[in-house]
């Protein structure tokens, strides 16, 4: 079994209902170990009056990282996924967004997936839920990101 941490967010419509539906769908394929308290934040990278709600979800899985990515993307579509980018590539409001923050201690840098998630150490809406569920891992990933930003 592999440990992974997901961050699930929404800033459109019934945010908590979208998040709850995503967690329920994921739990059909993964062992959900813990779900953090919700964290509310302003949008990051675009302007909107709609605030985000995010939760962290720690899971155990037998899926490889790319199969886990496929599952998160199918779950986004099942929940009612709106495109998270405008045609010009800028970010926009979204009903659901699921990111893989880490997968064991694996490092991946491909066109489809980067692990640990890039810029996670700069995003309090990722760090706060992760600190709640796994403070040691949060510190480890934050320290690694800060060290790589020095290079």
Alpha-carbon gap, residue 24 to 16, rounded angstroms: 12
* DSSP string for 22-69: HHHHHTTTSEEEEEPPPEEE--SSS--SPPEEEEEEEEEESS-HHHHH
Q: Please write the tens of the pLDDT for every residue from 48-95.
A: 889 999 999 999 999 999 999 999 999 999 998 677 777 888 878 789
* Rounded average pLDDT over 92-118: 91
Q: In terms of DSSP bridges, do strands 2-10 and 39-41 run parallel, antiparallel, or are they unpaired? A: unpaired
Q: Note the pLDDT of residue 146.
A: 75
With 90 as the cut, is the pLDDT of residue 8 above it?
Answer: yes
Distance CA 14, CA 11 (A): 8
**Which CATH number describes the domain made up of 2-150?**
3.30.70.560
Mean pLDDT of 20-43: 96
Helix (H/G/I), strand (E/B), else coil: 97: strand
């Amino acid at each position: 079994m592999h440990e992974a941490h997901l961050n699930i967010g929404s800033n459109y419509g019934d945010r908590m209902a979208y998040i709850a539906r995503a967690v329920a769908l994921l739990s059909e394929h993964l062992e959900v170990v813990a779900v953090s308290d919700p964290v509310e934040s302003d949008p990051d990278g675009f302007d909107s009056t709609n605030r985000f709600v995010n939760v962290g979800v720690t899971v155990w899985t037998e899926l490889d990282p790319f199969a886990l990515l496929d599952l998160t993307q199918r779950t986004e579509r099942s929940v009612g996924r709106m495109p998270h980018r405008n045609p010009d590539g800028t970010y926009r409001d979204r009903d659901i967004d699921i990111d893989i923050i880490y997968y064991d201690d694996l490092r991946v840098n491909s066109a489809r997936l980067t692990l640990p998630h890039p810029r996670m150490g700069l995003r309090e809406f990722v760090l706060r839920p992760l600190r709640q569920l796994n403070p040691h891992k949060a510190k480890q990933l934050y320290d690694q990101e800060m060290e790589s930003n020095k290079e």
